[in-house]
Structure 1
Amino acid sequence: MRILLTGSSGWLGRFLAPLLWQAGHDPFGLDVAPGRHTHRVGSVTDAALVRRLFAEHRFDGVIHAAALHKPDIARYPRRAFIDVNVTGTLNLLEAAVAHGASRFVLTSTTSLMITQAIRDETAPAAVWLDETSGPLLPRNIYGVTKRGAEELARLFHADHGLPVVVLRTARFFPEDDDTHRALAGENMKANEFLHRRLTVEDCARAHVAAFDRAPALGFGLYIVSAPTPFGRADAAQLKADAPAVIAKYFPDAAALYAARGWTLPARIGRVYDAAAIERDLGFRCRTDFAAVLAALRDGGPLPFAHDPAYTSPNDHFLR
């Protein structure tokens, strides 16, 4: 299938485009920055460009991975988030319907599910988050605009029958956390595989699975994260004494961490549950916390990317 892939020069796009080729598709990359998998440099905010590309290439479907992200809040005004994340999504949805595209996959974020209270960890137990969680009260412009994009996608399915799958992805960025720096980057990423991270490779695989299944689903919205080893019954103890819970599932985790000079989380305040996408799409992330421990145990390379020097192609957006 001929696919319009937005964000093709980004971290996800550079892994997703080759997977689409391997699956027999023909991705056409659109990004604000040049890249190996980008065929046209331009912005989704340019409605005329989007319409022209659809008219020229007759895309069968769209994977919309382009966005301004949370770290961009420090660099761009709120208006830019609305232009890219909301208006850009609207431009793509309108063109997809006008040209009879058969499916649309939207990359969203679990970040929009995190209220200020969840972020501050005011609850007595870890908050268990799945697709039914709410009310949704995004705490910043990034979350607000991604929530708006989700609702536009839902509306276009309801009004026009466009098959849509929304993927709320957990963390998969390679750079250091732009807010929390208490732990070294690799240590923090390893910890997050317990409850709120996946690899970029798994994220790309989830998008291919969503694209293939969209027509059968009609509309679907899913959290995408490495499978957590925990159950809901662990929530209270995770908040009080996370190492004790981790030891129940991984008895040698503390020793493996100590040998590396790492620290296990003292407490865990939220857990993303990715059971629904496994149930409905048969998709499960290949890399989980057990894989991280296996690498530590065997002395092999860590199964996730860490690049403190990574910079987003969004740096090109307002130049």
Structure 2
Amino acid sequence: MRVLLTGSSGWLGRHLAPLLGEHGHEVTGFDVVPGAYTDVIGTVADRALVERTMGEHGIDAVIHGGALHKPDIARYPRQAFVDVNVSGTLNLIEAAVAAGNDRFLFTSTTSLMVRADVRAGAGEAGAWWMDEEFGPLEPRNIYGITKLAAEQACRLVHREHGIAVLILRTGRFFPEDDDTHAVPSGENLKANELLHRRLTVEDAAAAHLAALEAAPAIGCDTFILSAPPPFARDEADELARDARAVIARHFPDAAALYAARGWVLPATIDRVYDPSRAERRFGWRAQTDFGRVLAALRDGSALPFAHDAGYTSPIVARERATCTN
């Protein structure tokens, strides 16, 4: 297929584009900044550019991975989020319908599921167990609000025109340090998050490839993407009180392996993302999980996820370069 991939210069795009190529797809990369896999430079908010790109490249399917993200809130006004995340998504899916495409993938985020009470900590039943039926959805910032609105726009176009739409709510896979949590930092935090809310960028790319192939048979659905948690739903209460005891039951040597590295296990876990629907419906299961982290600690091999404290997104790098010139 000839696939239009937005966000092709970003962290996901630079992993997804070559993977698509390896599986026989012809990829046209679309981004606001240049990159190794980017062919068209511009914004998805430019409807004429989107339509021209669809026609000139004979696009058969769209994977919409480009967006303004949560860290961008500090740099852009709310209107920019509406223009890019909502209007841009509508531009793309309507162009896909006009071009006769039969499938459209929208990269969304688990962030839109994090209401104020979820952000505050565990609920009355313990850790929040967050699958695709979790609700009500009340995003806490403009990023989540616009991603939810874009999801709804995609569903509307599916209902009206029949184009297959798969919405992929990804957990965390960014390589840089967390911008809100300082302790624990770096690799320790990422390792902990693979228990309940993170996946690798390689697994995120593989999920998009699998979803692209399965979309017409599914029609329209929403999927959470995260590493498979080792926990059961009935452990939610204990996770909120004493996560280390639960972890010890599943991984008896975890505490010792962590101590040898100078790391700390989470004392509590207040939410767990459940990605099992993706495995049931299109056969995707993350290959990297917490068990893989412990295996690396046991044998001294490289950790199975990327960490780059100095990573900056391409758009931020461009802005910094502009300011210094």
Decide: shared fold, TM above 0.5: yes
Tell me the residue number matched to 2:118: 118
Taking the aligned partners of 2:107 and 2:179, their CA distance within structure 1 comes to: 21
Does the 8 Å contact 2:108/2:151 carry over to 1? yes
Paired residue type of 2:100? G
| Identity fraction in percent | 63
3-state SS of the aligned residue for 1:62? strand
Alpha-carbon displacement from aligned partner over 1:29-65 (angstroms, at most 9, x marks no partner) = 0001100000111111111100111121120000000
Unpaired runs of 5+ residues, structure 1, are none
How many angstroms does 1:317 deviate by?
Answer: 7.8
- The Cα shift of 1:314 comes to 2.9
1:313 Cα deviation (Å)? Answer: 2.1
Provide the C-alpha distance between the structure 2 equivalents of 1:119 and 1:187, rounded to a whole number of angstroms.
21
CA distance in 1, matches of 2:98, 2:137: 31
Aligned residue for 1:3, secondary structure, equals strand
Query: What's the secondary structure of 2:205's corresponding residue?
Result: helix
CA contact (8 A) 2:178 2:185 kept: no
Q: 1:77 is matched by which residue type in structure 2? A: P
Question: Which residue in 2 is equivalent to 1:264?
Answer: 265
Query: In 2, Cα distance between the equivalents of 1:266 and 1:152?
Result: 40
Q: Which residue of 2 aligns with 1:65?
A: 65
Distance 2:91 2:98 in 1: 11
The corresponding residue for 1:228 is 229
Question: Shift of the alpha carbon at 1:11?
Answer: 0.1
Contact 2:109 2:170 in 1 (8 A): yes
CA RMSD of aligned residues (A): 1.1
Tell me if structure 2 keeps the 8 A contact 1:246–1:253: yes
Alignment-mate amino acid for residue 263 of structure 2: W
Match of 1:49 in 2: 49
Kept in 2, the 8 Å contact 1:109–1:168? The answer is yes
Q: What amino acid does structure 1 have at the position aligned with 2:40?
A: R
Q: SS of the counterpart of 1:277?
A: helix
* CA distance, structure 1, for counterparts of residue 216 and residue 58 of structure 2: 18
The AA in structure 1 aligned to 2:131 is D
Alpha-carbon distance between aligned partners in 2 of 1:42 and 1:69, rounded to the nearest angstrom: 17
Q: Which residue of 1 aligns with 2:160?
A: 159
Q: How many angstroms apart in 1 are the aligned matches of 2:319 and 2:216?
A: 33
Q: Which moved more, 1:120-129 or 1:90-99?
A: 120-129
Please list the CA deviations of residues 239-294 of structure 1 after superposition, one character each: whole Å capped at 9, or x if unmatched.
00000000000000000000000000000000000110001111100000000000
Deviation at 1:123, TM superposition (A): 1.4
Equivalent residues in 2 for 1:199-278 (5 A)? Answer: 199-278=200-279
Q: Distance in 1 between matches of 2:295 and 2:221?
A: 34
Instruction: Map residues 179-194 of structure 1 onto 2, 5 A cutoff.
Output: 179-194=180-195
- C-alpha contact 1:68 1:314 (8 A) present in aligned 2: no
The amino acid across from 1:50 in the alignment is V
Is the 8 Å Cα contact of residues 6 and 31 (structure 1) preserved in structure 2? yes
Corresponding residue for residue 148 of structure 2: 147
Distance in 1 between residues matched to 2:27 and 2:170, nearest whole Å: 21
CA shift digits 1:2-45 (9 cap, x unpaired): 00000000000000001101111001000011000001111111
Residue 109 of structure 2 corresponds to 109
Give TM-score scaled by structure 2 length: 0.97
Q: 1:46 to 1:113 in 2, by over 3 A?
A: same
SS in 2 for 1:198: coil
Q: How far does residue 220 in structure 1 lie from its aligned partner after superposition?
A: 1.5
Task: Encode CA deviations 1:203-226: one digit per residue, 9 max, x unaligned.
Answer: 000000111001111102100000
What CA distance in whole angstroms lies between the structure 2 residues aligned with 1:127 and 1:27? Answer: 38
Q: Supply the AA of the counterpart residue of 2:51.
A: R
- What 5-or-longer segments of structure 2 have no aligned partner? none
SS at match of 2:202: helix
Aligned twin of 1:27: 27
- CA deviation profile, 1:110-139 (whole Å, cap 9, x unmatched): 000010100111514000000010000000
Partner AA of 1:110 in structure 2:
T
Name the TM-score, length of structure 1 as normaliser: 0.98
8 Å Cα contact 1:32/1:317 also seen in 2: no
Q: What residue is the counterpart of 2:169 in the other structure?
A: 168
Partner Cα separation in structure 2 for residue 267 and residue 63 of structure 1: 36
CA distance in 2, matches of 1:314, 1:111: 21
